[in-house]
Amino acid sequence: MPLAAAAVDHRDNIIEVSHASFSYGAREILSDVSLAVHRGDYLGIVGGNGAGKTTLLRITLGLLKPSSGAVRLFGQDISAFRQWFRIGYVPQKATSFDENFPATVEEVVLMGRFARRGLLRRLGRQDRAQAELALERVGLLPQRGRLIGDLSGGQQQRVFIARALAGEPEVLFLDEPTVGVEQAVKDEFYRLLRRLNEELRLTVVLVTHDIERMAHQAMHVACVDRTLFFHESLDDYFRKTHAEIHPHERRGQEA
């Protein structure tokens, strides 16, 4: 890890969440959460079911409006932010979409180019080239003509990564990407993320309850349980909180 940590630019906060709170009616999901993501970082956001980690991610991406607090993306307030192509997103849906949806792997990956190309513009040769490159990076170029529903779970997940990569993003957000996927596939998946972080200097923000699998991959860990406990390194995280977190994690793995 120290090797990769050298690539992080701590002066460049590409994502900043400050004092964000969120409530559903009277129930407070998040309380006064502040979080900064540096360029080149690989941040794991962990927490048990209902701890608010997905809510935090949705606030950061503008899918939910915080009850109070602010979000800045690449130095701009989220309400004024328009350069969405700088953000790649792999939704939870990556493991639970309509298997009968009539779209080829290539058609799905090309969706990742839409934000770059802009509204009403047709895709061109450059978009196809980037989609191919992204498919090559995740090792699925030979499958590009197949229907997404015909691939294995692990392959489908990599298609969604390729879709996010096709837009040439600077930061990649992943929401519980390994739910319902076999262990061996998970390990390979985390290795892929690590490689993207190191080779492409892609900033990675991963929301997961799967702390043990992620353990030797992420550089920083933020633990959400209604509010945020930020940890400088993974060792730090394990030293301080492994004992309390362990029950959550066991429950998560059985599910």
Tell me the number of residues near another protein by CB under 8 A: 35
Concatenating the DSSP letter of every residue in 49-91 gives TTSSHHHHHHHHTTSS--SEEEEEETTEETTT---GGGEEEE-
The residue from 93, 239, 242, 250 that contacts another protein (CB under 8 A) is: 93
The residue from 97, 229, 230, 238 that contacts another protein (CB under 8 A) is: 97
| Per-residue CA distances from 132 to 4, 109, 254 (Å) | 27, 9, 37
Closest among 3, 33, 37, 28 to 18, alpha carbons compared: 33
- Asked whether position 101 contacts another protein by CB under 8 A, the answer is yes
Please state the closest distance from residue 107 (CB atom) to another protein, in A: 5
Please state the closest distance from residue 75 (CB atom) to another protein, in A: 17
Strands 27-39 and 203-208: unpaired
The residue from 7, 36, 123, 192 that contacts another protein (CB under 8 A) is: 123
Token pair 């790649």 is found at 88
- Asked whether position 31 contacts another protein by CB under 8 A, the answer is no
The residue from 13, 18, 31, 104 that contacts another protein (CB under 8 A) is: 104
Please state the closest distance from residue 20 (CB atom) to another protein, in A: 17
Closest among 152, 21, 143 to 94, alpha carbons compared: 152
- Asked whether position 55 contacts another protein by CB under 8 A, the answer is no
Rounded CA separation 147/151 (Å): 7
| Per-residue CA distances from 73 to 66, 84, 146, 178 (Å) | 15, 9, 36, 26
In the bound state with another protein, the residue whose beta carbon lies nearer, of 40 and 169, is 169
- Asked whether position 87 contacts another protein by CB under 8 A, the answer is yes
Q: What are the residues binding another protein (CB under 8 A)?
A: 61-63, 82, 84-85, 87, 89, 91, 93, 97-98, 100-104, 107-108, 110-112, 114-115, 117, 119-120, 122-123, 147, 149-150, 163, 167, 173
